[in-house]
Structures are given as C-alpha cells and as structure tokens.
Amino acid sequence: MSEQTDFEISHQVPYYECDASGHLTIGMLFRLLILVSEEHSTAQKVGPDRVKALGGGWVIIDYDGTINRLPKRGETAVFGTRVAAYNRFFVVRDFWVKDAAGTVQVKVKGLFAFMNLTSRKIATIPTALSEPFQLPESRRLPKVARPTAQAVDDQWQASDYRVRFFDIDLNNHVNNACYFDWLLDPLGSDFLLYHRLVGLKIKYDHEVRAGATVTSTFRREGAVTYHQVQSQDGVAAEAEFTWEEC
Amino acid sequence: MSEQTDFEISHQVPYYECDASGHLTIGMLFRLLILVSEEHSTAQKVGPDRVKALGGGWVIIDYDGTINRLPKRGETAVFGTRVAAYNRFFVVRDFWVKDAAGTVQVKVKGLFAFMNLTSRKIATIPTALSEPFQLPESRRLPKVARPTAQAVDDQWQASDYRVRFFDIDLNNHVNNACYFDWLLDPLGSDFLLYHRLVGLKIKYDHEVRAGATVTSTFRREGAVTYHQVQSQDGVAAEAEFTWEEC
C-alpha cells in the first residue's frame, strides 16, 4: 500500500482576503482549505464533478484547529492537505498552512461525510472516491474535537444576519466559510483588533438557506468565546474560539 | 516621450470569488481591478506605501464600464490596466479583462483623485507619482460617464445593510467593492440569476464608516436599474446598471 501523498498549493494573499489587521480572515482561510482539498481531489480525478456524478457531495461535520500566525497581505503561503484516515462513512482530512520558511503556522483537522444529494442523508462513501486515498480503512478515526456543549440563555449577546445573494454559492447553499463572518462579527472591532484567534472548534448542524435570517449569539469566558448560529430550522452551527491578546 | 505601458496579471478565478451563477462577482471584479492597479503602481515604485509616505491616497470618483462576459469558476483571465490620461488633480485609468483567447470581455474606465490624508481633501498629484506615467499632462481628460441624476422618492425599494467587521480594510475604510454587494443584493436572486449586467456607472460620494448602517435603494425602468446608497452622512454612492436577460 503506497502512502497517501500530501497536496499543497502556493497562494499569495491579496489585500481583499485580509481584515483590518492586515491578516488573512478566518473565513478566507477556510475558503482556501476547501479549495486545496477540491484541487487535491481533482488531481486524483475525483473532483467535485465526479463526486456530483456519483449522486452526492462532501459535507463538513466539524473542524478543530490551532493558529500560530495567519499570513499577511502580500505574503505567499503554502496551503496543504492530506487524507488522514477514513471509514465507510467519514473522512478525516489534515490541513496546514506553512509560511515561506516552511514552518507550519496553522493546523486544522476536518471531519467530512458523504451526503446523498437526493435523500439529503449521509451515505456510504463510494469505493470510486476512497480508492485514490491509497489507505486502508480505519477501525478508529482520529478525533476531531467538537465545541463544548453549551446551553444558550438570554445572557448571550445576539446579532441578526440576513443571508445575502453573494453568500450563496454555485450549489445554491450558503458557503460554510460565511458562518465565520456571522460567528465573529458580533464580537466587535474593539475585541477583534486586539485579540488573535489561536484555537477553534466548529461544528455544522444544519444548512442555512437562501433568504434566511440567522441569529449569531455568543458569550465570553476569559480567553474563550462560545458561539451558536441559529436559523428558523434550529441550530446551524456551534463554535468555541480561544484567543490571545495582541 | 515613451508610451505608457499596459500592465497585466493573470488570475485563475477560484470558486469563492463566484456567485450562484458560477461567474466572478461584480464586487470581486472591482477588487481585482484595484489589485492590478496597485501592482502596476508597485512595479513603477509608486505603490501604496510610497503614496502613503507622500501623505495621501488615491480615491475613486467614478467608474464607467461594459461587460460582455465575466470569467467563470476555474477560468484563467487576464486583468489589465494603463493610465489613459491625467491632469493636476485627476487620473483616468483604463481597465480590461481578457479571456484565454485574448478577447477583451470587460472594459472599465475609472477616474481617480489624490486625497491629502490629513485634510481629507483633494490635493495636487505629487510629481513623484505622475512621472512614472510617462505621459504629458492632458488639457482635457477623457470622460468617465456618471450615473444619470435621479431623485429618490418613496417608490424606490429600500434595504438596510449594517457594515460588518470584515467589510473594513487595512485603512479602516469600507472597501469600495463592498458597495456593489449592497447595490445589487436588493434586486433579489430571481432578478440576479436571470439577468446579466452589461453596463455600469457608479459614482462614489461619501465614505461609509465602520459601524454604520446604510440604506440601499433602487428603482427599475425596463433594462436599467438606478441605485443609491445612503448613510447618515448623506449619499454614499449612486449607480446605474444596464441588464440583459440570460
């Protein structure tokens, strides 16, 4: 059995992928991680078109990551991924971002499932998609830690966000990276400009539809913030972020 | 006098720069045009840092453009610019987007002024910045057509947008490209998915600040939509868009 290969792309960060601090935004980080994973799959001839032809699509269950430093405007960084493990229903992907010196500055694990697009339910991963992984099926998948369960009460601060036309992607869904903008924006610029995200856990529960309005709530407990995004269909996402002052 | 050279960059459009139709969004088109103009200036050693060191910044007054076809997801297009003309206070830039066959698919003219960052007023363009244009000063600048003046009344449809943390750029301003999202979103997905923007005129009046809420209003007259974005400081931008069914 040959080893699963790493797949990497080099990307120079333009000004419009950065926030007011001049660093890549968290939403853009995840857009790029999905891009690298799609390009990885395409290089293995199991890209989005092939997945669609098999009647399904990859859906993200949760991410768990740590950030040392995000690339800055104009910086060229390397975005990489590999399949860490999989079983009949789930795939765990490792993601990383390296700076120009080759030092890993961001590490993320993501748990994905294969969804049948007709039934909208999780389905067995077709062999045609798992063969290119060149890995044996795992008995136990590595853990992708989830946010600590929280009971939201009226002490949590709430902000409403209407889904906009440009949040909707080619599959007529809200892009998963948009959730980060909703999750983080309520913290406010005074907090966001003077704190650096160093750890994140995010779990996706329900899709948010075009035309919906979501409520993003959070509470802070020292260096940790807990978040929940709700739509009229229920909880759409939960997150736990760890911060350092900067 | 040597001729002003064209400056071009090649860019492959990732999925996250596209809307639900799979084409580059208008907001992203303008982010890329500003990127190419900044890289052009940087190549001539009068990039953003040098401009800032001279106590000022370039501000956009208005854009006038026509679109035949916008690049699609995965497509590599060439984004180009040249300085068309300038005088003591203003610069007219030509922008274009070419497809892989070299056919020009988008043409935009932009009128820029140099603003003194201390007084926040239009100032004479420093010679250090105009020298690299390698062009004589113009007596008459080419026209960059503005939207037809409109009186907004309560027949116009209005939608509110709160400025979000991730709309704010490194200069602590709302990025000018965000205006397109506010201008277009009120048209709704039924309109936007079945119409193609073929002509645009946009005039910027006032900066929108962090924390503001803007009201985006529009009215439609056949194939043309007229738009105004207002903040509490007054009119922030006006636009006139021409559409074709698709």
Quote the minimal CA–CA distance from A138 to chain B in Å.
Answer: 31
Minimum CA–CA partner of B73 in chain A: A170
What is the predicted pLDDT for the residue at A140? 95
Q: Which residues pair with A14 in a beta bridge?
A: none
- Cβ <8 Å between B19 and A168: yes
Q: Which residue type, as a one-letter code, is found at position B90?
A: F
Q: How confident is the model over A225-245, as pLDDT tens digits?
A: 999 999 999 999 999 999 999
Please give the ipTM for the structure prediction: 0.93
- Cβ <8 Å between A165 and B184: yes
Alpha helix positions (H), A70-188:
127-130, 178-184
Quote the minimal CA–CA distance from A73 to chain B in Å.
Answer: 9
Best of A30, A163, A164, A174 to substitute, by most chain B Cβ atoms within 10 angstroms, is A164
What is the predicted pLDDT for the residue at A2? 42
What is the predicted pLDDT for the residue at B1? 40
Q: How confident is the model over A55-92, as pLDDT tens digits?
A: 999 999 999 999 999 999 999 999 999 999 999 999 99
Domains of chain B: 7-133 (3.10.129.10), 157-245 (3.10.129.10)
What is the predicted pLDDT for the residue at B171? 78
Checking if the pLDDT of A25 tops 80, the result is yes
The residue with greater pLDDT, A98 or A1, is A98
Give chain B positions within 8 Å (CB) of A174.
Answer: none
Give chain A positions within 8 Å (CB) of B212.
Answer: none
Checking if the pLDDT of A162 tops 70, the result is yes
| B40 backbone φψ class: left, alpha, beta (φ>0; ψ -120 to 50) | alpha
- 3-class secondary structure for A87-120? CCCEEEEEEEEECCCCCEEEEEEEEEEEEECCCC
Q: Is A148 exposed, middle or buried (0-12, 13-18, 19+ CB in 10 A)?
A: exposed
A20, A168, A177: residue with CB nearest B172: A20
- Cβ <8 Å between A20 and B168: yes
Nearest alpha carbon to residue A238 among A152, A157, A167, A159: A152
The answer for A 158-217 residues in CB contact with B (under 8 A) is 164-166, 168-170, 172, 175, 177, 181, 184-185, 187-189, 192, 210-211
Cα–Cα distance, A205 to B177 (Å, whole number): 32
A19, A164, A170: residue with CB nearest B181: A164
Secondary structure tally for chain B: helices H, strands E: 5, 11
Checking if the pLDDT of A3 tops 70, the result is no
Give chain A positions within 8 Å (CB) of B181.
Answer: 164-166
Cα–Cα distance, B188 to A101 (Å, whole number): 46
Helix (H) or strand (E) holding A159: strand A157-162
Helix (H) or strand (E) holding A200: strand A195-204
Checking if the pLDDT of A1 tops 70, the result is no
pLDDT along chain B (246 residues), means of 10: 76 96 97 97 94 94 98 97 97 98 98 93 95 93 96 95 92 88 96 97 93 96 97 95 97
On average, the pLDDT of chain A sits at: 94
SS3 A187: helix
pLDDT range class, residue A171, cuts 50, 70, 90: confident
Q: Which residue type, as a one-letter code, is found at position A111?
A: L
What is the model's pTM? 0.95
Q: How far is CA A143 from CA A91, A111, A180, B75, B126, in A?
A: 11, 9, 22, 37, 59
- Cβ <8 Å between B169 and A18: yes
A164, A168, A181: residue with CB nearest B166: A181
